Amino acid sequence: MTDRKYLRILAKQYPTYEKAATEIINLEAILSLPKGTEHFLTDVHGEYEQFEHVLKNGSGTVKRKIDVVLKDTKGTEYKKRLATLIYYPKEKLELIKAEGLNTNEWYKETIMDLVDVLKRVSSKYTRSKVRKAIPDEYRYVIEELITEKEEINDKEKYYKSIIDTIVRVEEADNIIIAIATLIQRMVVDHLHIVGDIYDRGPGPHKIMDTLLSYHSVDLVWGNHDVVWMGAAAGHPACIANVIRMSARYGNLSIIEDAYGINLLPLATYAMETYKCSDSTKFKLKETSSGEFLNASEIESRMYEAITAIQFKLEGEVIKRNPDFEMDDQLLLDKIDYEKKTVKIGDKEYALNHCDFVTIDSKDPYKLTPEEDQIVKQLVKAFMNSEKLKKHIKFLYKKGAMYRLYNDNLIYHGCVLLNEDGTFKHSKICGQDTYGRAMYELLDSYARKGYYAPIGSKDREKGGDILWYLWCGPLSPLYGRSKMTTFERLFIDDKETHKEVKDPYYRFIEEDEKVADAILKEFGANGKYSKIINGHVPIEIKNGQTPIKAGGKVLMIDGGFSKAYHDKTGMAGYTLAIDSHGSWLVQHEKFESKAKAIALETDIVSDTLTVETFDKRMYVRDTDNGKRLMEEVEELDALLVAYKEGIFAD
């Protein structure tokens, strides 16, 4: 029975029987519509152009709609041009006009076909929702073109007359742009980002700007995201990691130009302090072709300087958090400068670089006065970047450690397991947790790291947790035994480079029981429930598949980042789920936006059906549908109240 106090509040929104009844009719209509398409992307790692392209084409959904609408009435080349026009209407129109192809007949044919595609992709939505998505200045015209008019006998003549007028008054370009943008909007109902927006590629800030304006999106955090969240919160070790990663991949401009963070003090310090140091170990990251990125001397020196600062800051974090159990990663005090070795465990390893000019062997984790000043300046600069604040607050608002959505379980990395496949326990933050409880505890501390009062214990611990989520041995976002940054830089023996994956990655290959246990632990109990995660690139060229555990797990990181292309043999997987089922799309390597527009190339290379539902799904079968049905129940109770005279309308 709906509470009378709540009904009184509801009555203020629907003050008459008729208004409440009308809203019920509206909600029931929405519940009877087919479920919208969900689009899943993960590990985009700053590759903005590829991200934008996949977003615009809906992982091939636009092309599929074109094929359904046009069938065999138009050739392949025409369909490719139409698809490219939908993806990049402004840019493609300029090329078409430069080629002299923009005849009146071309405009008429193109607009008519775009209208037919728009009718198809908007059929899952109410007229009200479609109307709200149309730009105000073209709302009347586009509504006329996509609305069926039963009273008109010669419909083709009617619609052609509208298009003739559009061309005559020279509004065709604007109408094409508006329709193309609307098609992009309607093709995908909701977007999921499954972690790792940041690092490696040059455009994470552009991706964030796009997501900020996207019509419907949520995300789960990846380990590369949380370290930026920690940096924005002013956590020194996170800041050092962010700068080192950006330097390593030649992307310091993201920090300086995109986020307006002044790195000049670090650059000046690095050039002076490391002017006589051997910086050959601080080349930038190799490209997919095996070449090192060109770096100026100042970039290499900054890379070297921030690396030393990072190791010192991380040492302090580890020492003040015994619950992290990371003492084995305290290596600066294990260096023998005379022998040029470092002791790891019970074994000594030769160092290929021992020119640590700012490390005091007697107190190796202490910052020099100059380093301390640099860190303080960087903390202030990161915390005061308005654009970074805007982006990070969006990550907190729309993001979480994990998400349940339409009976699917979405997280970035893994659920920690023991060697026998049972849930691994952790005593992080002084609490014995595992599985869902561990995720939720870490989520709460990740939020404290940014939102707790500055200077408080919660703020410090939360910041340390954000760093731990980036690289800790029991971080479900990282899922490896350790991050071997020091070893990879300074030790040639590759035995020390190993980062052992959590047993999770072994079990989910084929063990459906383990997958079922994880789904149950998190409350994903639907008939078609799946685990959807990324983090570990699928090496298709080595026979790996993203479909695991008998179809219960979909691991969709196929390597958006160019740094992984040679390793994976392709450039990313994406996932789509609509009212009929789910499918994976394997993407080819994306060269450039300019080439995609000029040559009308797409990057969808193969589509793999994951599952076809026994019956078509409707809005009432979704999470949003459950909420709408609750609203209907409440409104039904309000109608009864009106009928019984409890509330006078």
Structure confidence at residue 265 (pLDDT): 96
Instruction: Give dist(CA 371, CA 384) in Å, integer.
Output: 20
Q: Which helix (H) or strand (E) holds 369?
A: helix 369-383
* pLDDT (average), residues 541-545: 72
pLDDT band for position 35 (cuts 50, 70, 90): very high
Q: What does the pLDDT look like over 465-524, one tens digit per residue?
A: 999 999 999 999 999 999 999 999 999 999 999 999 999 999 999 899 999 999 999 999
419: left (phi over 0), alpha (psi -120 to 50) or beta: alpha
Tokens of 55: 């977003």
Q: Which amino acid is at 44?
A: V
To the nearest whole number, what is the mean pLDDT of the chain? Answer: 90
Other Cβ atoms less than 10 A from the Cβ of 468: the count is: 30
Give the CA radius of gyration of the chain.
28
* Helical H segments across 32-103, by residue range: 48-57, 61-70, 76-87, 89-98
Q: What does the pLDDT look like over 449-459, one tens digit per residue?
A: 999 999 999 99
Structure confidence at residue 152 (pLDDT): 58
307: left (phi over 0), alpha (psi -120 to 50) or beta: alpha
Residue boundaries of the structural domains of the chain: 4-33+623-643, 35-57+188-221+401-424+503-616, 59-186, 236-384+441-501
Tokens of 118: 């728009």
> CATH topology for 35-57+188-221+401-424+503-616?
Purple Acid Phosphatase; chain A, domain 2 (3.60.21)
Structure confidence at residue 535 (pLDDT): 83
Per the CB < 8 A criterion, the answer to whether 269 and 280 are in contact is: no
Structure confidence at residue 290 (pLDDT): 45
Instruction: Give dist(CA 271, CA 261) in Å, integer.
Output: 19
Per the CB < 8 A criterion, the answer to whether 341 and 353 are in contact is: no
Instruction: Give dist(CA 592, CA 645) in Å, integer.
Output: 66
Instruction: Give dist(CA 391, CA 81) in Å, integer.
Output: 35
The three-class DSSP label of residue 553 is strand
643: left (phi over 0), alpha (psi -120 to 50) or beta: alpha
**Is 28 or 285 the better-scoring residue by pLDDT?**
28
Instruction: Give dist(CA 388, CA 79) in Å, integer.
Output: 40
Structure confidence at residue 268 (pLDDT): 96
- The per-residue b/e assignment along 542-578, b for 16 or more CB within 10 angstroms, e otherwise, is eebebbbbeebbbbbbbbbbbbbbeebbbbbbbbbbb
Other Cβ atoms less than 10 A from the Cβ of 113: the count is: 19
Contacting residues for 98 by C-beta, under 8 A, at least 6 apart: none
Q: What does the pLDDT look like over 291-331, one tens digit per residue?
A: 445 567 888 899 999 999 999 999 999 999 999 999 999 99
Structure confidence at residue 568 (pLDDT): 45
Q: What does the pLDDT look like over 238-290, one tens digit per residue?
A: 999 999 999 999 899 999 999 999 999 999 999 999 988 877 778 776 554 44
Phi, psi of 193, deg, nearest 5: -105, 120
Instruction: Give dist(CA 390, CA 103) in Å, integer.
Output: 45
DSSP-derived secondary structure letter, 258 = I
Per the CB < 8 A criterion, the answer to whether 490 and 337 are in contact is: no
Q: Checking DSSP bridges between strand 341-344 and strand 335-336, what pairing results, if any?
A: antiparallel
Q: Which amino acid is at 49?
A: E
**Is 540 or 121 the better-scoring residue by pLDDT?**
121
Start-to-end CA span in the chain (Å): 21
* pLDDT (average), residues 179-199: 94
Structure confidence at residue 571 (pLDDT): 59
Q: What does the pLDDT look like over 407-458, one tens digit per residue?
A: 999 999 999 999 999 999 999 999 999 999 999 999 999 999 999 999 999 9
Instruction: Give dist(CA 577, CA 562) in Å, integer.
Output: 26
Contacting residues for 556 by C-beta, under 8 A, at least 6 apart: 40, 41, 42, 194, 532, 533, 534, 538, 546, 573, 574, 575, 584
Instruction: Give dist(CA 574, CA 193) in Å, integer.
Output: 10
> CA nearest 471: which of 149, 176, 240?
240
Residue 589: pLDDT over 90: no
Per the CB < 8 A criterion, the answer to whether 265 and 309 are in contact is: no
pLDDT band for position 147 (cuts 50, 70, 90): confident
* pLDDT (average), residues 147-159: 68
Structure confidence at residue 563 (pLDDT): 56
